[in-house]
């Protein structure tokens, strides 16, 4: 009997080059300069930023984690250089974002532009169906998995190294035959499958990233600061590419969730900054914190406590913001909600933390 509910064959997806896309945002037009005066804030917001800065300083003095959770809007606002300055000064110890945050960061590094009209491109079947984005991010994830790396590390290394070197199919076949139960066997099988399906031989695949110095992923990789990516399988545009494999995305996300947990485990007396973060940010923090406390209690350690959360959002987020705040409030510690432009908040925070306030022109 014919199965009338067979899944879509995404291998037949037709993709186009990025050069044909009407990209909505140019990096050169939005990139914030951390050495310029920060946008104005109200006195109330400045007081909250001062409190946040003091808590971050205290956290770093005692070796506690400072985690910045952000979504794609932060990248599309051009705040990469501000965030990069925070990690360069060891003021933020862990970055975490969603799949689209990573995709926009990669497109800016590679193409200098990102963003598209969802409404227009869904109607033409082209939303997200851009060859370079899907192909190169999948190559990065496939390659990184062979080294036991997660999403953020894999793509950051791909950008920083301007491409990737693939093993030969013969080597992969031999490794799978010799060690079928090896922990990396599933990653090797996925790489072999991708190389066969896409007629890829082993060796160097160069991919230039002219704007990699602004990339959050690349700079985090270079400095050695964890940047974890928490994508949705099917919820990000990586699904609109014939190379899409849920197993590849899931393996990378699995590693990054566990890597985030290692930072959450060090969050006692630490700080979480949720700046224009996606709705899942509070949920993944809840789960990570529960896992960390479970393991700490087994080791007869105290639970993670005395942490601070600063939830920063603009005033136009509608019903999403109350949902997030309600969830954030469940994870203990102290929470403060700040209604502010993300750029203004981060630039003022950076200047207070570094002591290099820039006076208005």
Q: What is the pLDDT of residue 278?
A: 82
Average pLDDT over residues 223-248: 94
Range 238-256 average pLDDT = 95
283: left (phi over 0), alpha (psi -120 to 50) or beta: alpha
Tokens 């990069």 sit at which residue?
Answer: 84
pLDDT score of 361:
45
The average pLDDT across 170-191 equals 97
CATH of the domain spanning 37-354, picked from 3.40.50.150, 3.40.50.10690, 3.40.640.10, 3.30.420.240: 3.40.50.10690
Distance CA 101, CA 216 (A): 10
Q: What is the pLDDT of residue 318?
A: 44
Residue 325 confidence (pLDDT): 55
**Given this model, what pLDDT does residue 319 score?**
38
Mean pLDDT of the 171-191 span:
97
In this prediction, residue 315 carries a pLDDT of 59
In residues, how long is the chain? Answer: 361
Write out the H or E segment, with its range, that includes residue 193. helix 185-197
Q: Averaged over 235-253, what is the pLDDT?
A: 94
DSSP string, 155-187: HHHHHHTTEEEEPPHHHHHHHHHH-TTSTTHHH
* Cβ within 8 Å of residue 187, ≥6 positions away: 142, 145, 146, 251
Q: What is the pLDDT of residues 3-44, one digit of tens each?
A: 668 898 989 999 999 999 999 999 999 999 999 999 999 999
The pLDDT of residue 330: 79
How would you class 1 by CB atoms within 10 Å of its CB: exposed for 0-12, middle for 13-18, buried for 19 or more? exposed
What does pTM read for this prediction?
0.93
The domain ranges of the chain are 37-354
Q: What is the pLDDT of residues 82-127, one digit of tens each?
A: 999 999 999 999 999 999 999 999 999 999 999 999 999 999 999 9
């Amino acid at each position: 009997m014919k199965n009338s509910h067979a899944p879509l064959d995404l291998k037949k997806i037709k993709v186009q080059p990025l050069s044909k896309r009407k990209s909505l945002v140019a990096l050169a037009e939005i990139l914030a300069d951390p050495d310029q005066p920060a946008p104005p804030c109200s006195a109330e917001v400045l007081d909250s930023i001062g409190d946040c800065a003091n808590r971050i300083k205290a956290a770093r003095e005692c070796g506690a984690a400072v985690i910045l959770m952000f979504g794609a809007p932060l990248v599309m606002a051009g705040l990469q250089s501000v965030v990069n300055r925070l990690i360069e000064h060891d003021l933020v110890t862990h970055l975490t974002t969603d799949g689209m945050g990573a995709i926009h960061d990669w497109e800016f590094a590679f193409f200098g532009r990102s963003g598209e009209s969802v409404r227009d491109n869904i109607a033409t079947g082209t939303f997200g169906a851009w060859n370079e984005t899907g192909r190169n991010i999948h190559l990065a994830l496939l390659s990184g998995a062979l080294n036991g790396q997660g999403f953020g590390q894999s793509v950051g290394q791909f950008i920083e190294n301007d491409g990737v070197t693939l093993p030969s199919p013969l080597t992969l076949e031999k490794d799978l035959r010799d060690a079928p139960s090896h922990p990396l066997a599933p990653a090797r099988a996925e790489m072999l499958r991708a190389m066969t399906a896409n007629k890829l031989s082993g060796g160097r695949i160069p991919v230039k990233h002219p704007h990699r110095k602004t990339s959050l992923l690349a700079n985090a990789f270079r400095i050695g600061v964890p940047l974890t990516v928490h994508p949705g399988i099917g919820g990000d545009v990586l699904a609109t590419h014939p190379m899409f494999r849920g197993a590849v995305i899931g393996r990378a996300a699995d590693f990054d969730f566990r890597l985030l947990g290692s930072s959450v485990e060090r969050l006692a007396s630490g700080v979480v900054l949720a700046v224009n973060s996606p709705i899942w940010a509070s949920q993944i923090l809840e789960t990570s914190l529960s896992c960390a406390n479970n393991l700490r209690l087994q080791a007869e350690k105290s639970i993670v406590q005395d942490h601070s959360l600063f939830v920063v959002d603009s005033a136009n987020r509608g019903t999403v913001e109350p949902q997030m705040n309600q969830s954030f409030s469940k994870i203990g510690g102290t929470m403060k909600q700040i209604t502010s432009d993300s750029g203004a908040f981060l630039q003022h925070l950076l200047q207070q933390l570094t002591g290099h306030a820039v006076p208005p022109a």
